């Protein structure tokens, strides 16, 4: 049993519990680890994804404060923005997305498809800005307009990563351990993408509060390991304070930035290799911004022996499928990695044929 969260306002947005799938072909291709996929990509509303967990508490708090409008932020292809737009549509809230061109990428696919197409479909108003200064100015204008019109605004930060948002993944991790315990499985590691760090903070805090001896392996997708560890620690500590709990020790937390590459939203060769490996062994669809980089980190940690054969690893699939379509034509180019066909059966014996050496 986890911490009591009943004191915190919450709205019902997702389909819980999400599946916990065994991935034996992928585990075999990764040298014989036991791999499970926690499928938060199929959480329901707005094409699914991890932000729904946070939004249940964030929008619950907003409604408790009688907000009728929501403003949030992100890159042009933000998953958080897309899920916020869908949640606001369900709850009858106005949604303004202040989007910043922070990724060195353009073109019709990136600027008109994927998440941003869904933002418009769900009825959000998007405001595309070129830099941080313009983003701040647009936000101030939106707040002033809301005040003049008598609307009450709830402002959510990038990724919904606040102490209240962390409660979503505290709850999700309790759910995960309930599933694992029911299957009689004791994991060695939980591997989770780290962007704005709220998801990883919730996982790490839950592991600490539940007293579980399991590694929390945070795979950075944008910031350095030191920056990400600082963000995780701060958010987990703030969330613990909300619960009246002491600051967590986070003694099992590992933070790894080897897969970040050139920066946020810029996939590497390893990212594409990992996407294809997941797709062609288990039919699991990752995205090139978050889960693809986390998967690339997983692959490399196996290759280096940091994750050992026989270990049990849970990969938290946090979603992001719509963003994949913003990265055409790279998604379908076979020549980039030589992975032109399906992964044959045969477990670890097929690794050379299906995963290029590094």
Q: Which residue has the tokens 């999400």?
A: 18
The Cα–Cα gap between 201 and 65 comes to 25
Architecture of domain 20-49+162-354: 3-Layer(aba) Sandwich (3.40)
Burial 25-37 (b: 16+ CB within 10 A, else e): bbbbbbbbbbbbb
Contact, 354 vs 343, CB < 8 A?
A: yes
pTM over 0.85: yes
The Cα–Cα gap between 34 and 187 comes to 9
The Cα–Cα gap between 28 and 78 comes to 33
The alpha helices in 184-290, defined as continuous H runs, are 198-210, 225-242, 269-282
Burial 343-355 (b: 16+ CB within 10 A, else e): beeebeebbeebb
Report phi then psi at 318, rounded to 5.
Answer: -90, 5
Domain with CATH 3.40.50.1100 in the chain: 20-49+162-354, 60-160
**Pairing assessment for the beta strands 34-39 and 20-22 based on DSSP bridges:** antiparallel
Give, for all 358 residues of the chain, the pLDDT tens digit. Answer: 789 999 999 999 999 999 999 999 999 999 999 999 999 999 889 999 999 999 999 999 999 999 999 999 999 999 999 999 999 999 999 999 999 999 999 999 999 999 999 999 999 999 999 999 999 999 999 999 999 999 999 999 999 999 999 999 999 999 999 999 999 999 999 999 999 999 999 999 999 999 999 999 999 999 999 999 999 999 999 999 999 999 999 999 999 999 999 999 999 999 999 999 999 999 999 999 999 999 999 999 999 999 999 999 999 999 999 999 999 878 865 444 444 455 544 443 334 334 533 3
Structural class in CATH, domain 60-160: alpha beta
């Amino acid at each position: 049993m986890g911490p009591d969260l009943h004191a915190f306002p919450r709205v019902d947005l997702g389909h819980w519990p999400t599946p916990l799938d065994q991935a034996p072909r992928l585990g075999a291709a990764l040298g014989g680890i036991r791999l499970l996929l926690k499928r938060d990509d199929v959480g329901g509303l707005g094409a699914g994804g991890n932000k729904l967990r946070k939004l249940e508490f964030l929008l619950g708090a907003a409604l408790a404060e009688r907000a009728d409008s929501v403003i949030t932020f992100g890159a042009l292809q933000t998953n958080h923005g897309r899920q916020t737009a869908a949640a606001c549509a369900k709850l009858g809230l106005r949604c303004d997305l202040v989007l910043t061109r922070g990724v060195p990428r353009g073109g019709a696919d990136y600027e008109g498809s994927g998440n941003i197409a869904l933002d418009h479909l769900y009825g959000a108003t998007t405001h595309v800005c070129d830099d941080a200064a313009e983003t701040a100015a647009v936000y101030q204008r939106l707040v002033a307009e809301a005040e003049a019109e008598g609307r009450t605004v709830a402002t959510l930060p990038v990724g919904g990563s606040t102490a209240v948002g962390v409660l979503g993944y505290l709850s999700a991790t309790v759910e995960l351990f309930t599933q694992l315990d029911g299957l009689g499985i004791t994991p060695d590691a939980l591997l989770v993408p780290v962007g704005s760090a709220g998801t990883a903070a919730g996982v790490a805090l839950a592991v600490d509060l539940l007293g579980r001896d399991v590694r929390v392996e945070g795979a950075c997708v944008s910031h350095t390991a030191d920056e990400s560890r600082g963000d995780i620690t701060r958010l987990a500590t703030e969330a613990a304070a909300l619960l009246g709990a002491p600051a967590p020790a986070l003694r099992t937390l590992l933070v790894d930035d080897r897969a970040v590459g050139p920066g946020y939203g810029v996939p590497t060769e390893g990212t594409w290799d990992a996407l294809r490996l997941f797709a062609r062994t288990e039919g699991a669809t990752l995205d090139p911004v978050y889960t693809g980089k986390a998967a690339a980190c997983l692959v490399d940690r196996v290759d280096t022996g940091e994750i050992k054969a026989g270990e049990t690893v849970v990969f938290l699939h946090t979603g992001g499928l719509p963003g994949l379509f913003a990265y055409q034509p790279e998604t379908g180019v076979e020549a980039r990695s030589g992975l032109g066909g399906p992964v044959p059966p045969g477990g670890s014996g097929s690794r050379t044929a299906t995963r290029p050496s590094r």
